[in-house]
Structure 1
Amino acid sequence: MKKEDFYRNARHDLPGPLAGVRIIDATTAWAGPMASCLLADYGADVIRVAMPGDEGLPWQPFIGGTTRSFAEETINRNKRSVAIDLRRSEGVEAFLALVTSADVVVENFKPGTFAGWGIGYDDCRKVKPDIVYLSVSGWGQFGPISQRPGYDPGALAHSGWMALNGEKDGSPSKAPTFLADDLSGLHGALAVLAALRHRDATGEGQHVDVSLLDSIIYQSNGYLTLGATGDSLERWGSEVRVCAPTNCYECSDGHVFMALILDSHWVRLTEVLGRPELG
């Protein structure tokens, strides 16, 4: 199929698949906003609730001549916003009033914070029994370390992911992006869709628990499998232990990355190199 044929019947006048779904986004940092951002991209009406004085993400680079960061504009795109002080009784009343017309609440504060303010899951379902309530945290809602602050680098380190990332002879290394945050946002958005499907089928809401630690361990499942077999888990840099040659190689005009996954790839490489007898 040609590209023009594939897009011939594309419709740009239709609302997104989540049109009509309202989400109250009471999040900060990156993981929680990423979940609601993805849902907004699919057409949900996302109302971001910001605390007075919330600086958002004051990270450089800034948009020319302003104090607005590209990070803030990226993660909070396609959202409406309102400032509410959730620590005051008037703010709690205003928040719960928003919940009555919402389908989903997303929050990523330390577990128990919202319940302490009177806007936890049990509080919200009193005013909206079928509410879907997504809680994103560093370590999960329960457990011995659930009350610790949780950020992306901590999850990468605590999970063991950093111990497996980096050059063979180098130090453990974090990801160049907010990998645990991004994965948690993706898992959170997917979980919300599943919970909405359940609500539509049964009329029941849900409290969904997504953690950065769970999300990054899920991404590391291949390493966990190797560990279960008793194999040693080591850093491999850009190499891959199950296929070779796979690496980034320096050339006269830069670098080239080569990944030979199948035996047939090696045969084709020898032909390109003019050494078919090696295949």
Structure 2
Amino acid sequence: MDATKQLLSEVRVADFSRVLAGPYATAMLADQGAEVFKIEMPGHGDDSRHLGPFTETGSTYFTSLNRGKRSIEADLKDPVAHEKLLDFIRTCDVVVENFRPGVAAKLGLSFEDIKAVKPDIVYASISGFGQTGTQAKRPAYDTVIQALSGLMSSTGFPEDSPTRVGESIADVSAGVFAAFGISSALFHRQATGEGAHIDIPMLDVMLAMQPTNTAIHAAGSTPNRVGNRHPISAPFDTYAGSDGLVVIAVANDRLFGVLAATLGRPELATDARFATDGLRSDNDEDLRTEIEEFTSTHTVAELCTIFDAAGVPNSPVLNFTEAIDGPITAGRDLTTTDARTGHTHLRHPLLVDGARPTTTLPVPHLGEHNDELRAPRPRTTIDW
């Protein structure tokens, strides 16, 4: 490990999860120093090993989600492998799974099964709709959850169709909440000696990720598509420059006064149409006309320089490559390269005492750590 402080360095994880939500969570734990053992199907492994894009050293997608982990092959339906898995889990602190509800029980790997051999286990279950209820056994993918949660219907422009967010945000958010739930349960275990079963439904997570839409609903309205603008604040949108779009984000009256002065139109701050945030939002199209009279005569780069100098929050609209490789992230130490594959991936987004916790273990070959299942390596037991 490098010199960063890793807050989970005494934690061992048995990770039965596949593809994205679970592996994203356990990658977060591995970066924080947890010893993560990825339990994979013999001969095939996690499906994400076979998902592109690929280089000559394998899937870049798999590398980004499984850096810092160890791989054990195990046939979960084989009785001998099952007994060995239970022996191994006795040495673990955490189990993570994203089977469809009911499958873990059929495999003899439910929370109750694991608790019988490891009473203080922290067990995390990630699924589309939770472990109970009428929808529990429905299959779910990210796009399904975006559609069912209302996020898709409120994303895009009014004249266009509902739009999927341009990332598997339901999966990733479920992974973040899983890592949070696991860490919280480990803290609880330290205080009480008790384990816990953490149930992470993707639908519930995606609903929780919409506080603005929740507020609109609570006020008696249904959130609708409003394009790039903020649904309740203005000016908070993309505006036309002479060569592209610039983001302007103003959410209070004082800052609107600064923007008005910067536009050379200080009188806009006292215009009856724009006197408050609510009025500005109600008169958003009139406000757009006033703003674009100025912005349309300048390039995006010029506008960003002008607004930066005035202290008005702004941005060009970057693509991912421009964001990750450009000057905006320079010096942030955001990426690292896997020693085995040469694939570049993002490091942990949080800093601990000013440094990013990072694992230096390479992405594992399938079954590279099978010896751990044959004879689990002893570990120091934490005195909870």
Q: TM-score, structure 1 length as denominator? A: 0.91
Deviations 1:82-139 (A, max 9, x none): 1111111122112111101000000001011111111111111111111111000011
Q: Which residue in 1 is equivalent to 2:142?
A: 152
Equivalent residue letter for 1:78: G
Q: Which residue in 2 is equivalent to 1:56?
A: 47
| More divergent stretch after superposition (146-155 vs 99-108) | 146-155
Q: Which residue in 1 is equivalent to 2:131?
A: 141
Q: Distance in 2 between matches of 1:82 and 1:54?
A: 9
Q: Distance in 2 between matches of 1:180 and 1:49?
A: 23
Equivalent residue letter for 1:255: L
Q: Which residue in 1 is equivalent to 2:179?
A: 189
The partner residue of 1:74 within 64, 68, 72 is 64
1:220 has 2:220 as partner: no
Distance 1:126 1:177, change over 3 A: same
Give the paired residue count: 266
Distance 1:224 1:278, change over 3 A: closer
Aligned residue for 1:136, secondary structure, equals strand
1:42 has 2:28 as partner: no
1:274 has 2:264 as partner: yes
Give 1:245 deviation, angstroms: 2.0
Give 1:277 deviation, angstroms: 2.8
* Contact in 1 for aligned 2:19/2:46 (Cα 8 Å): no
Q: Which residue in 2 is equivalent to 1:247?
A: 237
- Give unpaired runs (5+ residues) of structure 1: 1-11
1:202 has 2:198 as partner: no
Q: Distance in 1 between matches of 2:147 and 2:4?
A: 43
The percent of aligned pairs where both chains have the same amino acid is 38
Q: Distance in 1 between matches of 2:91 and 2:151?
A: 41
Q: Which residue in 2 is equivalent to 1:9?
A: none
* Contact in 2 for aligned 1:84/1:94 (Cα 8 Å): no
| More divergent stretch after superposition (119-128 vs 47-56) | 47-56
Give 1:55 deviation, angstroms: 4.7
The partner residue of 1:109 within 79, 95, 99 is 99
1:229 has 2:219 as partner: yes
- Give unpaired runs (5+ residues) of structure 2: 270-384
Q: Distance in 1 between matches of 2:18 and 2:229?
A: 37
Q: Which residue in 1 is equivalent to 2:284?
A: none
Q: Which residue in 2 is equivalent to 1:4?
A: none
1:29 has 2:38 as partner: no
The partner residue of 1:177 within 167, 170, 180 is 167
Q: Distance in 1 between matches of 2:184 and 2:72?
A: 27
Q: Which residue in 2 is equivalent to 1:3?
A: none
Whose radius of gyration is greater, 1 or 2? 2
Q: Distance in 2 between matches of 1:94 and 1:221?
A: 45
Q: Distance in 2 between matches of 1:205 and 1:276?
A: 60
Aligned residue for 2:38, secondary structure, equals strand
Q: Distance in 1 between matches of 2:193 and 2:259?
A: 57
Q: Distance in 2 between matches of 1:130 and 1:218?
A: 29
Equivalent residue letter for 2:162: P
